[in-house]
Chains A and B, each alone.
Chain A
Amino acid sequence: MMYWVAGGFIYRRVDSFFHRLDARVKLLLTSELVALSLLSFSPPELIVTMGTTFAVASLSHTLRRMGKTLAFSAGFAITIFVIDILVGYSIIDALVYSLRFVAIVGSTSIFFLTTSPDELEHVMRWFRLPRDLIFAYVTAVRFVPVLLLDALQIMDAQKSRGLELERGNIFKRVRNFSPVLIPLVVNAVVRSGELAEAMEVRAYGAVEKPTMLYSPLLRTMDKIAAILSITLFLPTLYYFLFLV
């Protein structure tokens, strides 16, 4: 189940036009989709935004994997809908907020599904973010699949000692997870310590400005995609800001 859900956020190498784009262009497109989701205030607008998101996902061959995450996020969307209704929002508003959540999850999912941790690092470096921050963030992203595998192995080990994770009421089930969470957290802490040492012994932080082997350059295709997306986005933005 966990793997199924996280599958919507873990990068996998696929040969598609969208995957080949520069990460900065992918970030631009994703940001535009997120902005459209936030600016949409009626169900038809949101459906158009989501349609665009699905079209991009389809182009990048990630629709199936993104769909898994969306199916899971539907549970949260329903919760948002119910809470909104309970606190007095209209059905339309509640529907908009819950659909907006799904649209945002979908568009961010596309970025993470098509951008490798290395590309992510290039983008962050391009924004001139502090190196330690970039390193910490990229390492965290890179370790998501590792932690996921760890969690699955720990669950197997505990189930083999008679632990029944799905047994009992909701509180009991949450408690059942402590034999999984404790080794997972301990492993993560130990691993981070080992990683820090391994980085230090390989001279991490020895110079203030480390040199790079590759510097990402925007190719013609990237520039065309970026210009095209901005050309389509700006009129839409104008529509949302001044015409609605």
Chain B
Amino acid sequence: MIEFENVSFKHQNGVTALRNINLKIEKGTLTAIVGENGAGKTTLVRHINGLLKPAEGAVRVFGINTKQQSVAQLSKKVGIAFQNPDNQLFSDTVTNETLFGLKNFGMSEKEQAERLEWALNFFDLARYRDVSPMLLSGGEKKRLCFASVLSWDPDVLILDEPTVGQDYYHKEKITSMIMDLLSKGKTAIIVSHDLEFLWPLQPRTLVMAQGQIIADGAMANVLSDDETIKRANLVRPQLLELAIELHLHPRVLSNVKEAAKLILVRSVGAR
């Protein structure tokens, strides 16, 4: 569904951001893109909705070359929630901010009203509907960005650093939103440094370094590799670190309760 074929990209300042990327992302899957700052993660996802066009190679979304479509056309299928909410909020009210995309895509009034209600309720923003987005807290602004993108129900959702500024409750909310989207057959791509957040989701994980994908596979397998961790300057999720220290299969520990139970069993056994 999303296909990168020998894609390379160089920024205006001459820095090569992507080098010969070959990648396929299937419909209904969850993919995480991780790596250190400047590895090319955001540049990669900006190619999916046509904000950037490859200097070499081709990016195809639903079989269509992104060079042949405008950002607006692609955005209807591919929604991106950017890292910094201050870079997109401008309306006088939360309601109008959420409606912005819906209006741009020419949705009917009935559809706009329905989607607005869904988005505001899902992201706990209904009580702020008449409040200026500028007056919201950092976390609320971030949720408003998600709401304003998810409101038009794109087939692919890209979240760039979704957990920045979010408390535990709202991180859980984002997790449930992602699971909900996946159950509806949507495709989700998460760019994040927050491996602890990604761990319970167990996404397919792409590790990037210096504009290249250096590892691709199940999260537990990819992050178990010392060489990958070193090259991408990553820190393993604590549960994975614990599993490795206990010589367990990396996927055995998916939450703290399981880990505690296992340690308890082992210590009782040892006595």
Contact = CB atoms under 8 A, between A and B. Distances in A.
Interface in B47-69: 49, 51
Nearest to B145: A157
Category for how many chain A residues contact B: 20 to 34
A182 B152 CA distance: 23
A162 B84 CA distance: 18
B49 A161 contact: no
Contacts of A159: 51, 71-72, 75
Interface in A95-151: 150
Interface residues of B, number: 26
A164 interface: yes
Interface stretch (A49-57, A183-191, A209-217, A221-229): A183-191
Contact of A183 (B88, B148, B149): B88
B203 interface: no
Interface string B121-155: 00000000000001000000000000011001000
A148 to B, nearest CB: 11
Interface in A155-184: 156-164, 178-180, 182-183
A158 B148 CA distance: 11
Nearest to A157: B88
Question: Quick one: which of A150, A159, A182 has the most chain B CB within 10 A?
Answer: A159
Contacts, number: 65
B82 A183 contact: no
B100 interface: yes
A160 B145 CA distance: 12
A153 interface: yes
B239 to A, nearest CB: 34
Given A3-B12, A156-B46, A161 B88 contact: yes
Interface of B: 12, 46, 49, 51, 70-72, 75-76, 79-80, 82, 84, 86-90, 100-101, 104-105, 134, 148-149, 152
24 contacts: A150-B87, A156-B51, A157-B80, A157-B82, A157-B87, A160-B71, A161-B75, A161-B148, A162-B72, A162-B101, A162-B105, A162-B152, A164-B70, A164-B104, A179-B88, A179-B90, A179-B100, A183-B86, A183-B87, A183-B88, A183-B89, A183-B90, A186-B86, A186-B90
Interface of A: 3, 150, 153-154, 156-164, 178-180, 182-183, 186-187, 190
User: 9 smallest A-B Cβ distances: which pairs?
Assistant: A162-B104, A182-B90, A157-B88, A161-B101, A159-B71, A160-B80, A154-B87, A179-B90, A157-B82
